[in-house]
Amino acid sequence: MLHPRNRHQGRYDFEKLKASYPELSNFVAKNKYGDDSIDFANPEAVKALNRALLKDYYGIVQWDIPANYLCPAIPGRADYIHNIADLLASTRRGIIPKGEGVRGLDIGVGANCIYPIIGHFEYGWNFLGADVNPVSIASASAIIHANQGLGKAIELRLQKSEKNIFEGLIQSGEYFDFTLCNPPFHASLEEAQSGTRRKWKNLGKVSGKVHEKQVVNFGGQGAELWCEGGELTFILNMIRESKVFSLQVGWFTTLVSKEETLPKIEAALKSIGAKDWKVISMAQGQKKSRVMAWAF
């Protein structure tokens, strides 16, 4: 169940979305249940759906990403933002802070720049978006400059070290009310390819051998999908580095896809002296996820 403030409740209203972005009509057809839908295995269809959603709900008139880069599911990304708003309100007598005085740090902003777009539209927050990939930074920059109002609200910064998360990124004197992150899930390229094969099979698009390029390129590139040690290692490194910047961040947060890793994450938080941490559950349809948040 999506967050109560999430604009994307229920099924997609394709008639409304096609009115906002007519090009979406090229990809909408009746599914086996007789409902309007798109082929979610077609990257161009998913991209068109995102353009329609961003235009209709968030006033984004121009949005694009390079071929084969991660094209996120917008309703789930919006849920993360709304849950952060509640997290901030939990230490402000239940009042959600709004406006440019609130600053967030998006670790892995990606080519799509989704979190800053939604966070700024919904709550007026300012963002620093960081990424290790220059192509992602260039793509996010193009989106920002193509849409009025984003340039003053969203700053981008290249993380020059693939081994670091906050180190070398957060500068002296900077303060962030929160950080957010959708960490790379897989531990290797091979594991990422295997996961992509499962996605294709679940969508009914695989019979027999799949072309390797197709497998690699479906739904993400490099650091978007995998890192050495996988998600748990990435999050444990994030926790370790967060101690160094404990006075410069209000709440550190990250998505955690595997529930079974929570005990190790909580043990790491306890060992570094975090004063407070909490697990925020999220769900979209059959997909369940969670946010781990901690503070010093």
Residue 240 falls inside a structural domain: yes
Residue 237 falls inside a structural domain: yes
Residue 58 falls inside a structural domain: no
Tens digit of pLDDT at every position of the chain (296 positions): 899 999 999 999 999 999 999 999 999 999 999 999 999 989 999 999 999 999 999 999 999 999 989 899 999 999 999 999 999 999 999 999 999 999 999 999 999 999 999 999 999 999 999 999 999 999 999 999 999 999 999 999 999 999 999 999 999 999 999 999 999 864 545 554 555 545 445 545 544 444 444 433 345 555 555 456 689 999 999 999 999 999 999 999 999 999 999 999 999 999 999 999 999 999 887 888 999 999 99
Which among 116, 114, 237 has a CA at the least distance from the CA of 179?
116
Helices (H) and strands (E) in the chain, counts: 9, 9
143: number of CA atoms within 13 Å, CB side? Answer: 29
Report the CATH number at residue 257.
3.40.50.150
Cα–Cα distance between 144 and 87 in angstroms, integer?
A: 26
pLDDT (tens digit, 9 = 90+) per residue, 52-61?
A: 999 999 999 9
Residue 109 falls inside a structural domain: yes
Residue 48 falls inside a structural domain: no
Look at the chain and report how many structural domains it folds into.
Answer: 1
Residue 192 falls inside a structural domain: yes
Residue 55 falls inside a structural domain: no
Query: What residues have CB less than 8 Å from 274, skipping those under 6 apart?
Result: 239, 294, 295, 296
Amino acid at 40: F
Residue 37 falls inside a structural domain: no
Q: What is the pLDDT of residue 128?
A: 98
| Domain coverage including residue 120 | 70-295
